[in-house]
Structure 1
Amino acid sequence: MRQVLLDCPVDVLTMAETVDLARRAMQCRNRLQHVALNVAKLVNARRDPILSADVASSDLVGIDGMGIVWAARLLGLHVQERVSGIDLLTELLAVCSQDGFRPYFLGATSQVVELCERQVLEKYPTIRFAGLRDGYFAPDREHEVVADIRDSGADCLFIGMPSPRKERFLAAHRDDLNVPFIMGVGGSFDVLAGQISRASVRMQALGLEWLYRVYQEPGRMWWRYARTNTLFAAILLRALVRQQVQAMLGQRRAHPNSTRLRG
C-alpha cells in the first residue's frame, strides 16, 4: 500500500507480499521495479534529483532500514516488518530455484559477481543464471551491456552498482532491458559472496546494523552514517513537531469553546 513518509513514497508491505508481487511480475512478464529505501537513501534523495526521481518512479519502494520502520511507526504508519534488500534478494533467489526463473547479476567486480554465482549455485543447484556482468564498464559500452541483458531472456535483474550510477543507468535504459523484475541491491553482492558479513540478528532488530558496517569499514562508512543519521534525526524531529502542532490546531478547531480562562 503506497504511503508518503517524510515527503518520500513508501510501500507498506510485508516480505511475503513483496515476494508475491515479484513472482507475479516474473510470471506475467510485466515490469516491476523495486527500490529498497533506507535512511541514507531517503536523506540523499532530498538533495539528489536523479536519486529522487528513481525512487518516485519505482513501482515498489520497500522499507529497508530499521530507522525507516521506526520513523513510519512514530508518524502513524502501520509497518509490520522491515523488508531488507539482502533478505529480499535471498528470498527471490529461492523463488528462482523453485519456479525456474533466470536471474541476471549486474554490478560489483568480476571476482565478486562470480563468487556470488558460486555461492548461489551451492545453495540452489537448479538455478540457471541468465547472465553475469561486473559493474565496471565504460559509458560507451552501456549499450552493449543493455543488449546482453535484453537478449538474455532474464526474468529478474539485480543491480549492485553505486548511486547515482545505478539510477542514471536505469533512467536511460530501463525501457530497453526487457526484464520483468528489476531491483537495486546496493552492497548485497559483497554479502552474498561472503566478502562482508552481516550484523547479528539482534543488532539488526535494534537498528544497529549501520554500526556494524562502521566497525567493518570505518574509513569509508563512519562519515556517511554520521552525516545521514544526523540529518535524518533532524528531518524526523521536524516532522514530529509539525504533526503535533497540526493535531493541537485540529483539536482547537473541533472544540472552539473548550478553552477556559484562568484567573
Structure 2
Amino acid sequence: MKTTEVMDYHFINSDINSFVQDLNNRLANRLKTFIITANPEIIMYAGEDPEFRDVIHKADYIVPDGAGVVIASRILGTPLMERITGFDLMQEILKAAEKKGYSVYFLGAEPEVIEKAAGKIQGDFPQLNIAGYHHGYIEDDTELVNEIREKKPDIVFVGLGFPKQEQWINQHLKDFNHGLFMGVGGSYDVIAGKFKRAPKAWQKLNLEWFYRLCQQPSRWRRMSVLPVFMLKAIKKKITR
C-alpha cells in the first residue's frame, strides 16, 4: 500500500476501495492489523504526547480522516488521493465482512448505545456474523480481553474515543493471534442515532467538522486546533 508523508506521519495514499481490498487480503491471511484514522486533532495531540506519537507510528496503517490532513498534504506538495473517514471505512469493512464471512466484535460507547448500534448494524448487514459487543465502561480489561479472545473475531472496532481507543489496541494487540483492529471514535453514537452525520453536501464542502460542532458545542476546544494545524503545515512548507 502506497503511503505519503504528511506532517511526519506516513498516511496511506489510496482510494477507499483499493484500501479495503488490501485489508481483505490481510484478513484472508489472518494477519494482525492495526489501523489508526488520524485527523488534525490526533496529530496535534501526538505532538504534545511522545507516548501517543509512538503508538501512531506502530500502526500498520494511518488513514487520512479529516479534510485538514488532505489540505495540509496539498500545501506541502505531497497531495493525498482522498480523505477516508473512519465512519465510511467502517461501513465498507462491514460490507466486505458480510460478503466474506468475517466475524466482527464491537467495543465502546454507552451500554444502551452499543446495543442499539449492534442491532442497527445487524439490520443493515443481515448476513454479518456479529461475534459480540461490549460497552466502553471497562472495569476489568483482563476479563474483557479473555471474552474477545474466546469469540475469536476477525475484526474488532473500538469506539473509546482518542487517545484511549488507540492506546487500548496498542496495549492488547499482543493478546490476540489475528484480527483487524480499528478505532472508530463516535461512530456507534451516529449508527445508534444519538447524533446525526453531516449531510452529503456538508461533507463535500469539508464542513463535517462544523456540523458536528453544532451538535456538540463542547467540542470547540478540540476543534480549535484546526487553524493551528494548518498554520503549522504552512510553516513547514516555508522552512522547506
Q: For this structure pair, what is the TM-score category when the shorter chain's length is used for normalisation?
A: over 0.9
Corresponding residue of 2:99: 98
Q: How does 1:114-129 map to 2 (within 5 A)?
A: 114-129=115-130
Q: Which moved more, 1:142-151 or 1:172-181?
A: 172-181
The alignment status of 1:235 with 2:232, answered yes or no, reads yes
Contact 2:70 2:79 in 1 (8 A): no
SS at match of 1:149: helix
- RMSD, aligned α-carbons: 1.3
Name the stretch that deviates more: 165-174 or 83-92: 165-174
Cα distance in 1 for partners of 2:198, 2:169 equals: 30
Q: How many residues align?
A: 239
Deviation at 1:51, TM superposition (A): 2.1
Q: Between the two proteins, what is the percent identity of the paired residues?
A: 30
**Distance across 2 between alignment mates of 1:178 and 1:147:** 12
Select the structure of larger CA radius of gyration: 1
- Residue 59 (structure 2) pairs with residue 58 (structure 1): yes
Q: What amino acid maps onto 2:227 in structure 1?
A: T
Among 220, 223, 234, the alignment partner of 1:222 is: 220
The one-letter amino acid of 2:185's match is G
In the other structure, the counterpart of 1:259 is: none
Provide structure 2 residue ranges, at least 5 long, that are not aligned to the other structure: none
Question: Separation in 1 of the partners of 2:84 and 2:38?
Answer: 9
**Contact persistence 1:103–1:157 (CA under 8 A):** yes
1:162 deviates by 2.0
Give me the whole-angstrom Cα distance separating, in 1, the residues matched to 2:183 and 2:7: 22
Q: 8 Å contact 2:30–2:178 — kept in the other structure? A: yes
Matched residues in 2 for 1:13 and 1:54: separation?
Answer: 22
Q: Distance in 1 between matches of 2:4 and 2:132?
A: 35
- Calculate the TM-score normalised by the size of structure 1: 0.87
The answer as to 2:173 corresponding to 1:155 is no
Structure 1, 169-178 or 60-69: larger mean CA deviation: 169-178
Q: Tell me the equivalent position of 1:193.
A: 192
Decide whether the 8 Å contact of 1:150 with 1:179 is kept in 2. no
TM-superposed deviation, 1:165 = 2.1
2:42, 2:162 within 8 Å by CA — same for their partners in 1? no
Report how far residue 56 of structure 1 moved: 0.4
Aligned to 1:182: 181
The answer to whether structure 1 residue 81 and structure 2 residue 69 are counterparts is: no
In structure 2, what is the Cα distance between the partners aligned to 1:22 and 1:196? 28
What's the CA shift for 1:201?
Answer: 1.5
CA distance in 2, matches of 1:229, 1:28: 38
Please give the secondary structure, in 2, of the residue aligned with 1:43: helix
Q: Deviations over 1:52-104 (max 9, x none)?
A: 11210000111111111111122122322111100000111111111111100
Say if 1:34 and 1:184, in contact at 8 Å, map to a contact too.
yes
Partner amino acid, structure 1, of 2:222: R
Match of 2:134? 133
Offset, 1:169? 1.8
Which whole-Å CA distance do the structure 1 matches of 2:77 and 2:219 have between them? 31
**Secondary structure of 1:46's aligned partner:** helix
Q: Could you say what secondary structure the match of 1:61 adopts?
A: strand
Separation (CA, whole Å) in 2 of partners of 1:81 and 1:242: 25
Gaps of 5+ in 1: 244-263
Task: Confirm or deny: 8 A CA contact 1:105 1:133 kept in the other structure.
Answer: yes
Whether the 8 Å CA contact 1:106–1:157 is kept in 2: the answer is yes
Q: Which residue of 1 aligns with 2:210?
A: 211
**CA drift at 1:29:** 0.6
1:65 & 1:163 partners in 2: Cα distance?
A: 14
In the aligned structure 2, how far is the partner of 1:222 from the partner of 1:72?
A: 24
1:145 Cα offset (Å) = 0.9
* Contact residue 31 and residue 179 of structure 2 kept, 8 A: yes
- What's the CA shift for 1:152? 0.8
With the length of structure 2 as denominator, give the TM-score of the two structures: 0.95
Following superposition, the deviation at residue 230 of structure 1 comes to 2.6
SS at match of 1:130: strand
Q: CA deviation at 1:49?
A: 2.0
